[in-house]
Structure 1
Amino acid sequence: MNLAPYIDHTLLKATATPDDIRKLCAEAREHHFKAVCVNPQHIALCREALAGSHVLIATVCGFPLGAVTSEQKAEEARLSVQAGADEVDMVISIGSAIAGDWAHVQADIAAVRAATTGKVLKVIIETCYLTDEQKEKATEAAAQAGADFVKTSTGFGSGGATLDDVRLMARVLQGRAQIKAAGGVRTPADAEAMIEAGASRLGTSGGVGLVAGDQNTAGY
């Protein structure tokens, strides 16, 4: 399987330097990855490095905890779109989800959706912290709020994507939104299994190794 069109080539570490981001973009161009995923401060650099290519620029919002206000998330997303982001990966209010405040979870997502009109919105539900029932309700809230994708994980929590979680999300969504599996995609076999389970995007820092048929040891 050609995995490159599924990969969001990701570098979200606090220690990422401009040279690291340029390398990420060069790799994404070379291998024809779908997107790069970077922190907002690197959007302008990615625009420069990816000029003339078909690689999209994804960024994050309320990352990685999801614990800022809806207004702050919406403004962060708006500024990222203004800076040139094609896609925004937001983190839900995880504490609200655990508390069962689904009205707030959905309203929080809707605020960011309103700030990203015309762009792709991916909603990270951080499955490692949720029960299966909470995962189902979070996925439904994202769909109801107009998300384009529901995403499993930030890569900064206690666990990443699992096949069971991708299948659960696919069952809830029934095609209303796509699925991004992130974290824990270590081998080409892992990647293909996630796609078979229902993922149409893969978030990984080891995309180069995956397309070469190697194991991803990069940690995300």
Structure 2
Amino acid sequence: MAEAPAESILSPRDLAQMIDISAVQAFHTEADLREVARVALAEGFIAVHALPHFTALLATLLPGRCGVLVGGPIGFPSGGNRTETKLVEARGLVADGATEVDMMMNIGRLKSGDDAYVATELAAVIKAVAPVPVKVIIEVSRLTDDEIRRAATLVAASGAAFVKTGTGWTGLPTTLHHIRLIREAAGAEIGIKASGGIRDLETVAAMIEAGVTRFGINTDVARDLIAACRSLPDGGLRVAG
């Protein structure tokens, strides 16, 4: 008889250390950014992401020893920028204090079968910001299963730190099916960041069990999830595996 999988309990703090929150909509203001930084410090979220023009300010709000990473996007949200533009943006983010970056893959090139272009661009950006870790956004809701496998394989081979499922801007959710495809194609070593439509602890637990190591979640929803985690009978979220 097969043994039941081992279980662990994620405390609210443990869970917060798996969640990025952000202010990356075009309409987000300085006041919004300051509030998101305050929430991250209060709740212990692992990172805050802001649009590039706010990166320097965010770095002052979250100084190096505070324990919250400063993130920013490259080629966001379409991924269609020239490689030269992405390189300028990447170097600028790091110069302004970003301690991790989320890069949008060129999805049009991937869907056109131009894997060499995608691989070359990934390598160039990763080299430009090293040793700052790069998460590569592949926008799973716009890809076929085969394209997701190809994208995940390219990211794993590039030396990126994470495959990120999406921008959260499509209105379509990341699913367990997407996570399983990525983990199968990318292997066990690379991180997976799930972003888009994640709203409840049941989904969070299932995605962790499938291989997710980081989440990108709306700030209000993230706070609600931590509160819900805190109120669970075991004092945390039970996760198998």
TM above 0.5, one fold?
yes
Which moved further from structure 2: 160-169 or 128-137? 160-169
Whole-angstrom distance in 2 between the partners of 1:160 and 1:153: 9
1:29 corresponds in structure 2 to 41
Indicate the percent of aligned positions where both proteins have the same amino acid.
38
> For this pair of structures, how many residues does the alignment match?
214
Q: For 1:188-203, what aligned pairs fall within 5 Å after superposition?
A: 188-203=201-216
* Structure 2 segments unaligned to the other structure (5+ residues): 1-9, 230-241
Structure exhibiting the larger radius of gyration computed from Cα positions: 2
Asked if the contact 1:67/1:94 (under 8 Å) is kept, the reply is yes
Is residue 171–residue 196 contact of structure 2 (8 Å, CA) maintained in 1?
no
- State whether structure 2 residue 130 is matched by structure 1 residue 138: no
Does the 8 A contact of 1:75 with 1:115 survive in 2?
Answer: no
Q: Deviations over 1:173-200 (max 9, x none)?
A: 2223110000111012222221111110
Give the alignment's Cα RMSD to 1 decimal.
1.2
Correspondences of 1:64-79 after superposition (within 5 Å): 64-79=77-92
TM-score between both structures, scaled by the size of structure 1: 0.94
Higher relative contact order (CA 8 A, sep 6+): 2
Distance (Å, rounded) in 1 between the aligned partners of 2:87 and 2:205? 34
Does 2:29 correspond to 1:17?
Answer: yes
Q: CA deviation at 1:136?
A: 0.5
Gaps of 5+ in 1: 215-220
Q: CA contact under 8 A between 1:152 and 1:160: conserved in structure 2?
A: no
Aligned to 1:218: none
Partner of 2:66, secondary structure, is coil
Equivalent residue number for residue 92 of structure 1: 105
Report how far residue 105 of structure 1 moved. 1.1
TM-score by length of 2: 0.86
SS of the residue 1:100 aligns to: coil
Rounded Cα–Cα distance in structure 1 between residues aligned with 2:116 and 2:123? 10
Report the Cα offset of residue 158 of structure 1: 4.5
Tell me, yes or no, if the aligned pair for 2:155 and 2:186 is still in contact at 8 Å.
Answer: no
Dislocated runs of 4+, deviation >3 Å: none
* Residue equivalent to 2:224: 209
For residue 89 of structure 1, report the CA deviation from its aligned partner. 0.3
Residue aligned with 1:213, SS: helix
Deviation (angstroms), 1:49:
1.4
- 1:74, CA displacement in angstroms? 1.3
Letter in 1 for 2:112: A
2:134 paired residue number: 121
Tell me, in whole angstroms, the C-alpha distance in 1 between the residues paired with 2:112 and 2:223: 39
* CA–CA distance in structure 2, aligned partners of residues 101 and 210 of structure 1: 40
8 Å Cα contact 1:64-1:154 kept in structure 2: yes
Counterpart Cα distance in 2 of 1:58 and 1:91: 13
The one-character-per-residue Cα deviations of 1:35-81 (angstroms, maximum 9, x if unpaired) are 01111111122112122410001110000000011111111011101
